[in-house]
Structure 1
Amino acid sequence: MKRFNRYSLPPWVRTMRGVCAQFIIPFCIFQGIRTILLPTTFDVLLLTIFIAIALAIYLEVI
């Protein structure tokens, strides 16, 4: 299986990855506070998705 190389991506994809890396932690914090105050199924699923994206970005899976 071919190893993933993030430098082989187009420039616009690398830019979007950088933008997501900057904004994902504040989104997770906001969503976590919102989930604690008013937990709904949608809020929990959205928080789970945000955490998965944050882990993927910071562990360099994406």
Structure 2
Amino acid sequence: MKRKFNPHTLPSWLKTVRGLAGQFIIPFCVFQGIRTLLLPTAFDILFLGILILIAFAFRMELI
């Protein structure tokens, strides 16, 4: 049986880390997007995709 995720039961330090990550993910996406436009490599494109997925998950409150 799988338990439902409840962000209120997390330790306080983990809530702080989660909040900081939510604040910094969009600037990282913008920086990585500009870097990918200037010097695109396979790693940059993959990394940008992962950052966008993480930002989407924070926005939809899945993480």
* Common fold: TM-score over 0.5: yes
- In the other structure, the counterpart of 1:17 is 18
Question: Paired residue for 1:45?
Answer: 46
The correspondence of residues 21-40 of structure 1 with structure 2, limited to 5 A, is 21-40=22-41
TM-score (normalizing by structure 1): 0.92
In structure 2, list runs of 5 or more residues that go unmatched: none
Aligned counterparts of 2:57 and 2:45: Cα–Cα separation in 1:
18
Q: Count how many residue pairs are aligned between Structure 1 and Structure 2.
A: 62
Alpha-carbon distance in structure 1 between the residues aligned to 2:52 and 2:5: 21
Q: For 1:57 and 1:7, how far apart are their aligned partners in 2?
A: 15
Higher relative contact order (CA 8 A, sep 6+): 1
Percent of pairs with identical residues: 58
Task: Tell me the distance in 2 between the aligned counterparts of 1:17 and 1:33.
Answer: 25
User: TM-score, with normalisation over the residues of structure 2?
Assistant: 0.90
Q: By how many angstroms is 1:3 displaced?
A: 2.3
Q: Distance in 2 between matches of 1:48 and 1:8?
A: 30
